[in-house]
Amino acid sequence: MTATLSAPAATPAAPAPRVRRRWAAARLVSPVVLLVLWQVLSSTGVVSPKRLASPAAVVAAAGELWANGQLPAALVISVQRVAIGVALGLAAGIALGLIAGFSRLGELAVDPPLQMLRTVPFLGLVPLFILWFGIGETPKVLLVALGVTFPLYLNLFAGIRGIDAKLVEAARTLGLRGWSLAWHVVLPGALPQTLVGLRQSLGIAWLSLIVAEQINADAGLGYLVMNAREFYRTDIVVLGLVAYALLGLITDAIVRALEGRALAWRRTFEPT
């Protein structure tokens, strides 16, 4: 008898770039619809401009503040604060996650106090930060750093401890030990969840900045918003919130692009 070899099962092809672009464009439909509805309600008087400025008024305010230089200066200062705070938070979160993830003794030393601290609303620490560090740049930066640390630590720790034990055992039979095992097996396996933690951390960083810039700020987006509130400029208030949101989306998009490159080896579920 002649044996017949069956062809290997075909693996689903990754979506073509054109399909991905179409889905990206489709994601813009609902925001555009909401903007149009918002403008219509404002133009017809259903929404009072004293309560909420229209999109057209917000765009006009953006042009006004950009022309006089206030908006670019505020953006630079706010981005600088977030960049320093994120750098400190990433260093702390990664260091603590590695210590607790790779060492039982490190877990006993690091995890209990961090689990206790993360249940404390960190935005409620603002009065203590003012007492400890004054009202300058230090409490603003540290508040952002604190908000970044916890999500990154939790996801990195969970990613390391979530590695399949059979995979680790197989790597050990091939001679991998110590940091070689960690570098080639454990850390790549923990990378997907770590990047999720990074995305969460960056989102919280901007949330922290909104609160931090209320601490006697004399520059930045928060200062623009607080100053506009005093003069009932709802267009500038909304503009500040939109700027925060756009900056958050930009940083999230950067991490998603990094995630796509770093995890190109991993096949994931693609809905149809």
The pTM for the full model equals 0.79
Q: Do residues 270 and 12 lie in contact, with contact meaning Cβ atoms separated by under 8 Å?
A: yes
3 state SS of 30: helix
pLDDT(91) > 90: yes
Residue 256 or 8, more confident? 256
Q: Which range among 13-22, 80-89, 261-270 shows the weakest confidence by mean pLDDT?
A: 13-22
Q: Residue 266: what pLDDT? A: 67
Question: What are the start-end ranges of the H helices in the chain?
Answer: 17-26, 29-43, 55-67, 70-102, 104-118, 126-133, 137-161, 165-173, 178-181, 187-212, 221-230, 234-262
Q: Cα dist. 15→21, 23, 231, 271 in Å? A: 10, 10, 51, 10
Domains and CATH numbers, the chain: 54-262 (1.10.3720.10)
